[in-house]
Amino acid sequence: MHRIGVLTSGGDSPGMNAAVMAVAKAARYHGMSLIGIKRGYNGTLCKSHHIEDDMLELDLDTILDIADQPGTYLRTARCLEFHRPEMRVHAVNNIREMGIEGIVVIGGDGSYHGAMELCALGVPCVGIPGTIDNDLAYTEMTLGYDTAVNSCVDDIRAIRATSRSHDRPAVVEVMGRHCGDIALKAAAGSGAEICIVPEVNWSIQEVANRLSRLIDMGNPRATVVIAEGAWDAMHPMDWHRYLRENGCHVHDDDVMNTHFLSLMLKYKCKCEARPTVLGYTQRGRTPSAYDSWFAFEAGNLAVNLLENGIGNQVIGLKDGRVYYLPIGMALQQKREFNLQLYNLINTI
């Protein structure tokens, strides 16, 4: 191949820029030119007034210093239009017009489905798992996950310092809509006493009972770590009864959030539980050494695959080493939740 493209799609994650830089290095090594496709699959549709706002040639000397920067230099965005077959054909025509012969796609499962569609239309693609959630079963770790966990552990440790100072519990919400891996590893890494994840059913009463026992045992400064998507796994309950019994005056729309959980624990456990939502700080950190290494190896392997005419593949980690397999096979694998670690956190 003489020219390849690279895009970042879905939610941004630490290490995306490091992966783009690695792709650029490998492309230069193989004598290829590299086109950066902006704002995910939107760039393939060339919706801007000027082509350079959608696709631009990446010069290694220009982007060499982006590797340690958070976010994504190429930007990212959702592209609902890409679900339409006629728009995908339009995208392929634009890709070919630019002379792009293969694309490295950095993103999550939605991005991988888009890559499969391009492969079906004759554009070879190789995927790199760029998502902090660690929700792709075929790989031991996704790009950005290690950084996100380290970010959460640092923040939780700081919150626990204040909890110790005031002898009061903390409720900390971390990211993870359908996957509780960030919450699980951050809780284990910070010494938190309670972890709530989407994979395991739970109830406010169970959490209150656990916290009350900890307080009775002389630990009034326990930490509850909850994944943002854990509310979908909560046992059904009569919200109006809960609100009425505990004298809370909030609207139903405000119930399912971390602030409400803290309020309920305050009433049930007679404590000053304080909520903190860490939010996008987990995405906007400088990538860890591990994520930077993974990005470097994955970017190089992706370009090598395209150079050898191998597409429709994704790159992952297995036994600590990078490897590749077909996109379809990767997406079919089922993720296994570490229930043993979850039970360990919530029982000791």
Residue 49, token pair as written in the block: 């007034």
d(CA 1, CA 64): 22
Token output for 103? 């694309």
Distance CA 45, CA 156 (A): 42
Element (H, E) at 174: strand 170-174
The active-site residue out of 109, 133, 146, 181 is: 133
Q: Nearest 5°: phi and psi at 174?
A: -115, 170
Beta bridge partners of 103: 5, 125
Amino acid identity at 2:
H
Is the C-alpha dihedral spanning 31, 35, 36, 41 positive or negative?
negative
User: What's the one-letter identity of residue 308?
Assistant: N
Strand, coil or helix: 104 = strand
169: tokens are 């519990």
Contact 31, 333 (CB under 8 A): no
The answer to whether residue 133 is catalytic is: yes
Quick one: tokens of 295? 């990005």
Question: CA torsion angle for 104, 107, 108, 110 (degrees, to 10)?
Answer: -80
Query: How is residue 5 annotated by DSSP?
Result: E
Angle, vertex CA 148, rays to CA 146 and CA 152, nearest 5: 115
Which residue type sits at 82?
A: F
DSSP 3-state of 37? strand
Q: What is the identity of the amino acid at 231?
A: W
For the beta sheet containing 170-174, the strands, ordered from the edge strand earlier in sequence to the opposite edge, are 194-196, 223-227, 170-174, 274-277
Other C-beta atoms lying within 10 Å of the C-beta of residue 26 = 22
Specify the DSSP element, H or E, that contains 6.
Answer: strand 3-8
Q: Which of the residues are catalytic? A: 133
